[in-house]
């Protein structure tokens, strides 16, 4: 497994691509209101990305039709924007990728629409808090499997379970690079596999289910839900390992 080590100048290029992602997510947060359609949000995100000189990297990636993944309620990841208009009590996940001068950015959030249930508040907080707990734990020379274990423990300790078969990933000159970073420990030992090193850049993205980790892909071939049929949540940041710890690149 060849995991790229980026020079400081390359990390700055990745930061620039990711800063646009962060700005687009901030814009979507401001416009997450009852009555706006998923297609309107998608168009808004694409316009923002292009107006900042970047390209929406998800559009056409593996055949995905849009700039923005809009994952509504039971959909955890890869939701395709439709004419559906947001309603009070919905929860909506946004996942965005950019490409700027050959370098990629990627991040995601799940947000409430108006007043939501306390269970949905806990569900969203689980994905967000687990992400930040994992980022905080990162140190050079720890193993990626240890990081997966941190993510799994963070999710399970909050009373939820990680979605299986989908994972975080390296990022750089391609939107998805080595390594794959599951949100759960595969195998019995965390003390195995590649180590995290200075200069590595990757995406962590806890995907959270309520009871069942098994994914189900819906008829549109994109929307991923849990086999339990319950609502899920998703958060993601791109981070770089600098001076032995993680620095978030995907902030506006």
Instruction: Tell me the average pLDDT of the chain.
Output: 98
Burial class (CB in 10 A: 0-12, 13-18, 19+), 80: buried
pLDDT at 243: 97
Is 190:245 a contact under the CB 8 Å cutoff? no
Q: Which fold has domain 8-248?
A: Creatine Amidinohydrolase (3.90.230)
Task: Using alpha carbons, list the distances in angstroms from residue 11 to 6, 209, 213.
Answer: 6, 32, 34
Quickly state the pLDDT bin for 24 (edges 50, 70, 90). Answer: very high
pLDDT at 1: 63
Counting residues of the chain whose pLDDT is more than 90, the rounded percentage is 99
| Mean pLDDT of all residues in 11-18 | 98
What residue ranges in 53-153 does DSSP mark as E strands?
A: 55-56, 68-72, 75-77, 91-100, 103-112
pLDDT in tens, 118-155: 999 999 999 999 999 999 999 999 999 999 999 999 99
Q: Where are the domains of the chain?
A: 8-248
The number of residues in the chain equals 252
Integer Rg of the chain from CA: 17
Tokens of 170: 């390296």
| Mean pLDDT of all residues in 162-168 | 98
């Amino acid at each position: 497994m060849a995991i790229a080590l980026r020079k400081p100048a390359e990390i700055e290029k990745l930061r620039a691509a990711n800063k646009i992602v962060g700005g687009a997510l901030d814009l979507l947060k401001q416009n997450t209101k009852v009555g706006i359609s998923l297609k309107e949000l998608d168009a808004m995100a694409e316009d923002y990305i292009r107006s900042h000189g970047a390209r929406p990297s998800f559009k056409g990636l593996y055949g995905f039709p849009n700039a923005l993944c809009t994952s509504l309620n039971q959909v955890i990841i890869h939701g395709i924007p439709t004419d559906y208009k947001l309603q009070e009590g919905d929860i909506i996940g946004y996942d965005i990728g950019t490409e700027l001068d050959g370098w990629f950015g990627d991040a995601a959030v799940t947000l409430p629409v108006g007043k939501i249930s306390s269970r949905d508040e806990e569900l969203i907080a689980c994905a967000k808090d687990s992400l930040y707990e994992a980022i905080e734990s990162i140190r050079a020379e720890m193993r990626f499997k240890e990081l997966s274990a941190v993510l799994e423990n963070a999710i399970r300790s909050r009373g939820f379970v990680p979605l299986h078969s989908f994972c975080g990933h390296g990022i750089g000159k391609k939107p998805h690079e080595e390594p794959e970073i599951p949100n759960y420990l595969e195998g019995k030992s965390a003390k195995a596999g590649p180590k995290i090193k200075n200069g590595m850049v990757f995406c962590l993205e806890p995907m959270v289910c309520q009871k069942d980790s098994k994914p189900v892909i819906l008829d549109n071939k994109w929307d991923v839900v849990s086999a339990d049929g319950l609502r899920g949540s998703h958060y993601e940041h791109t981070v770089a390992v600098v001076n032995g710890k993680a620095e978030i690149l995907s902030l506006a």
